[in-house]
Structure 1
């Protein structure tokens, strides 16, 4: 095998010219930006990717990339080499302290005793340290956690990273700058590694999602009606236009009053949207959807909790009273969607609208009213299942999807969704049957054709997601 640094014989273009063309390609296809001063970084990344793609030289790999209609799977492989998944538990402790002392208490307090649900999305989650940190934080903050519907969605473009994240096993390097109690209280030592507690692990759902290409918000990937989105250390790789597009899409995934957490060095001016405002805390800036003020500067406080010693045993009383600051940034009560009284013509569209606004209990109630009038409509049972899934009621969501498939056994998206949920429950044999059926149905469509209820996601992309879930190597 020839050295990766060598040029193929008779190359028509110089290495700089090839890299410049590749830079344009990468920006167009992935949204990742490599200006002239970063072409050295691009060359090093392609050196690593060339081996995985089976090429002996960088130049031959670049020429192939430029001449080939790459699949989503190949794009994801390329992207995994172009970005650095550098992470560890409770990275940037200031952000987690702000969440614990100010943002989360406001949300929890506003929903306690009423609609007790919370949805968080860790976008570009890499190997999983960030979403698991969020799960650990919530388990610490909410003593009656079993009475809440908690959903933590964790997505990444890299199937390799997602596989590691789903395993939940980490080495010492993942705990650098992490409070000692995290490792001692939430992990079990296994030889030289540490495996996360199953109760924490069950709080997180991992899924493959390409921020640059896949549609969101969308039911099919559960990326909607989110309270808090973490999207850190990924926008720095995007071009300005692509970063703006991603931020706009992420903001649509948030409920009114929801929060977007990004790294300060990667926020383009485009983030200053009319409905997304910066909220300034000591040492960090978060962005809030629908805030009425562009800037909230809390009084100086001691931000303690993540850095504290072992967490106290959960008591049975109410959580601590939120501080004045937390009350100051509490999401305002959102206007109710006008819904006719029972028997007055409720519709599935009203259920979807309520779900999009994060009013999941109300959306579910509408489903319960409309389904009896059209029991043999599989899309109504599918809609009910997606709402139940967002509420964390997985067993009921599975039952609703089974009802949809009893009515229509050719409902590809229902097979896909059911396979995904069953896999998350560890029921891999049953999951495999539904994923295989979904794949078979999708293969009957053109690659760029979107099946019903897929919200624009193409059959080809869904097949590739199924292959990631199954751990297969190709479409075949």
Structure 2
């Protein structure tokens, strides 16, 4: 390959593209080291002219991925900053379970997970604390190369250089000079592509909402101030009330960008989203509502809207009125995170599909096993309700039962081909199984259906996902799949 041809305009274009696409910012004093990293990435892309390379980055995901790998320190190791993991074990996990209940399914996100040592360390902690069956660990990164390595779970001894290496070794098999993470631990972690600089979280689509704990370490130091602000605000919104955020000791403080509580512990400084205070005056029980005088049938009320009835409808019976109140109360309890209460109220109406949906969603936050048992029963009882089949697919995917999850998602789409969220879910499962062409088709369907809506329209089956957000998420997956396919050619 010929010597690289540099121009100042091309350099500025490259770093501008990086900032726009990833939020990465570099100081003027880093110019020579950045140029060296760019040169290495250019050689991998077989491009010698910096101007042509700048153009390539605008559309080639693989080229951008290679550049990110060269310019960021993706190097990490098991139990990096061990005091933080000790804080998770001794302070954070016990607090979550005290507040949410011993049966609560702990939801954790390792953001910018690099080659995977961090999320696997989290899985090991959860296993040691008896939470392996009651935790969900999402791990994301902007680098497809790093994610591919993380999914393999194969590491050199260099990844075990930390002072707590012994804690990881019992979960590793040493074979032919490498260390392989136990299959049981690998199955606790789900790896997905996510660009923290993009507005695709919090979202049900990216599994980044109502989280109990987020680790976002050693990434904020690479970002510009405006991007740090945006990322901090979004991470705050990703957390459930009372949820925790951990950054690296060398990262900038997020407390000035979002209304976190700063919690100083013996294990370091952590951030927390304040838990909402409940007031007896602000919460009305379903029983209280049910004993209120019935509103005359000639009036249009909230209950009319909930039941789909207008002023010209036949009057509701007292039984129907009470059922509507209880289902509405269950939905409200679900929205407040009062999952046990939501289950209790929804369980009063097992023949009501809406109540069944609420019950499954609430149970999913308490016990995946209980949720999937109920959902299996409900899809048998209500075989024509697409949302129940969709929820069934989500739960099966979380248990890594991908074949069954694909079938459930396909049943939802058989009932309603217009459900873009079901297309997106099917694409996610197929991509994980390596069926890239089928996954591409599903993500394309999700994108096209979402683009046909108004950008700020909430898509069906979601709580608050907008069409524009789903469109961007689907396009991200399509770019990643196309990059992988080009690499295989």
Choose which of 127, 130, 138 in structure 2 pairs with 1:153.
Answer: 138
- Alignment correspondent of 1:288: 272
The alignment status of 1:343 with 2:331, answered yes or no, reads no
The residue number in structure 1 matching 2:75 is: 86
Q: Over alpha carbons, which structure has the higher Rg? A: 2
- Find the residue that maps to 1:344 and give its secondary structure: helix
Question: Normalising by structure 2, what TM-score?
Answer: 0.72
Asked if residue 435 in structure 1 is aligned to residue 439 in structure 2, the reply is yes
2:2 is matched with which residue? 2
- The answer to whether the 8 A contact 2:61-2:479 is kept is no
Q: TM-score, normalised by structure 1?
A: 0.74
What is the aligned residue count? 416
TM-superposition CA deviations, 1:190-236 (whole Å, max 9, x none): 21111111111110000000110141011111011111100011111
* Number of the residue aligned with 1:33: 25
Q: Report whether the alignment pairs 1:275 with 2:259.
A: yes
Deviation at 1:439, TM superposition (A): 4.0
Q: Offset at 1:20?
A: 3.7
CA distance in 2, matches of 1:275, 1:364: 33
Q: Distance in 2 between matches of 1:348 and 1:58?
A: 60
After superposition, what is the alpha-carbon deviation per residue over 1:306-362, rounded to whole angstroms, capped at 9, x for unaligned?
xxxxxxxxxxxxxxxxxxxxxxxxx97899976857722577997598368484984
Given that 1:382 and 1:404 are in contact with CA atoms closer than 8 Å, whether structure 2 keeps it comes out as yes
1:135-171 deviation line (CA, Å, top 9, x unaligned): 00110012x643x2x1000000111111110011111
Q: How does 1:96-245 map to 2 (within 5 A)?
A: 96-113=85-102, 115-142=103-130, 145-146=132-133, 148=134, 150-245=135-230
Per the alignment, residue 51 of structure 1 pairs with 43
Distance (whole Å) between structure 1 residues aligned to residue 354 and residue 401 of structure 2: 17
Change (3 A) 1:130 1:363: farther
Deviation at 1:281?
1.8
Please say if 1:406 is aligned against 2:398.
no
| 2:413–2:419 CA contact under 8 A, matched in 1 | yes
Between the aligned partners of 2:442 and 2:264, the Cα distance in structure 1 is 46
For the Cα contact (< 8 Å) 2:132–2:188, is it kept in 1? no
Query: Structure 2 matches for 1:257-268, cutoff 5 A?
Result: 257-268=242-253
Using CA pairs below 8 Å that are at least 6 residues apart, which structure has the higher relative contact order?
A: 1
Is 1:95 matched up with 2:49? no
Q: Greater helix share, 1 or 2?
A: 2
Cα separation, partners in 2 of 1:191 and 1:390, compared to 1, 3 Å: closer
Asked whether the equivalents of residues 227 and 254 of structure 1 are also in contact (C-alpha less than 8 Å), the reply is yes
C-alpha deviations, 1:26-47, integer Å up to 9, x for none?
3233221113222223212211
Quick one: structure 1 residues 116 and 397, their matched pair in 2 at CA, closer, same or farther if it must change by over 3 Å?
farther
Can you give the 5+ residue segments of structure 2 that lack an aligned partner in the other structure? 288-321, 347-352, 358-377
Q: Which residue of 2 aligns with 1:317?
A: none
Q: Deviations over 1:286-318 (max 9, x none)?
A: 111116xxxxxxxxxxxxxxxxxxxxxxxxxxx
Superposed displacement of residue 379, structure 1: 4.8
Match of 1:416 in 2: 424
Q: What SS is found at the alignment partner of 1:99?
A: helix
Give the corresponding residue for 1:465.
477
Q: 1:382 aligns with which of 383, 386, 390?
A: 390
Offset at 1:80?
3.2
- How far apart, CA to CA, are the structure 2 residues paired with 1:164 and 1:237? 22
Question: How large is the Cα RMSD of the aligned pairs?
Answer: 4.0
Task: Give secondary structure in 2 for the equivalent of 1:472.
Answer: helix
